[in-house]
Structure 1
Amino acid sequence: MSGLTNALVICAVVVLVVVRQFKAQEIGTDRRWWLIPAVLVFMAVREPDLIDPQHRATSVTLLAVELLVGLAMGAGWARTSHVWTEPDGTAWSKGTKATAVVWAVGIGLRAGLFGIGSLLHVRQGTPGLMLALAATLLVRSGLLIQRAGTRPAAYGMADAAPEPMRKEPV
């Protein structure tokens, strides 16, 4: 895919995520919460310009820092989201003003990393950004599920209370 297409995919995902984060959303009902991050990872690792071959060590270092920023941003996003449980037992989350600050700081750090890479003449493309965004989404979703005390149902079946163990006569 071209760089323009990758940039459009990233922008679409960011807009979708930002718009949705300030709406109340049920946690743990979508068993495919990992699908968008998986698509982003797939798109990123198949691109040839993930690592600049002429500045391999610097490029790997910048990518590692980018991933750390993505992980921290996902953790901060999950931590600043308001989580509550409805009387019917469903868990919900909604972004707060602090969540917007986490996003602003994360975007600022990523812009700074891009600037550092440019100063060091490291060729940077969208794959690194896609990997970091995938890390952000994965960490955020996983931590929200953990905070809510819910987990997706296994094999598409509703979670059921375990049956009590019965003693067999001997």
Structure 2
Amino acid sequence: MIALTNVLVIAAVMVVVVQRQMRAQRLDTERRFWLLPLILGALALRDPQLVDHQHPALSVVLLVAGLVAVLGMGSVWGWTVRLWRTADGSVMAKGTKATVAAWIGMIAIRLGLYGIGTALHVHQAGSSLMLGMAVLLLVRSLVVNWRARTLEPAPPTAVLH
């Protein structure tokens, strides 16, 4: 039951995140962007089956490989987001086609790792996906927020008299 709940939580988070990313929205760099990843990470780390106790070494290797992959993909995802500053100085963000490609790449990598684990008879808990999602969201947010803080101010608009 826990695995099904984890998969449903992951699917819901993915749908919400991707949907929001593809719409232009004001970026609040002061927002607590780390809160959702913290919650997802805490939920994942509390699962005693995060590591397969019959194949601990292989299980940890697959878990670490997945986390390294999401570190990279989170960075890629953060760089694919289009950022711009409006005339009032606020920062806007919108996902691009490259953002969708990054998501597809991440899903392909996760499926590949899952396939390897299955071939090696390693049990992979849904909590490992949740932990990966937490890391992915955190890294993406860090990259986007860093990029937003380094944006040039919007050029002044001409005032007609």
Q: Please say whether Structure 1 and Structure 2 have the same fold, judged by a TM-score greater than 0.5.
A: yes
CA distance in 1, matches of 2:73, 2:38: 18
Percent identical across equivalent pairs? 49
Match of 1:167 in 2: none
Match of 1:109 in 2: 109
CA distance in 2, matches of 1:138, 1:29: 13
On the 8 A contact 1:26/1:92 being kept in 2, the answer is yes
On the 8 A contact 2:29/2:145 being kept in 1, the answer is no
Pair 1:90 & 2:115 matched: no
Distance 1:149 1:29, change over 3 A: closer
Report Cα offsets for 1:34-81 as digits up to 9, x if no partner: 111111101100001100111111101100010011111111111111
Secondary structure of 1:26's counterpart equals: strand
Instruction: Tell me how far 1:29 sits from its aligned partner.
Output: 4.6
Instruction: Tell me how far 1:89 sits from its aligned partner.
Output: 1.0
CA distance in 2, matches of 1:49, 1:7: 14
Match of 1:8 in 2: 8
- Root-mean-square deviation over aligned CA pairs: 1.2
Match of 1:80 in 2: 80
CA distance in 2, matches of 1:92, 1:75: 19
| Alignment TM-score, normalising by the size of structure 1 | 0.85
CA distance in 2, matches of 1:88, 1:72: 33
Runs of 4+ in 1 over 3 A off after TM superposition: none
Match of 1:65 in 2: 65
Gaps of 5+ in 2: 151-161
| Alignment TM-score, normalising by the size of structure 2 | 0.89
Indicate the structure (1 or 2) with the bigger Cα radius of gyration: 1
How many residue pairs are counted as aligned between the two chains? Answer: 150
Match of 1:44 in 2: 44
Gaps of 5+ in 1: 151-170
CA distance in 2, matches of 1:125, 1:25: 34
CA distance in 1, matches of 2:58, 2:44: 18
Match of 1:25 in 2: 25
CA distance in 1, matches of 2:49, 2:42: 14
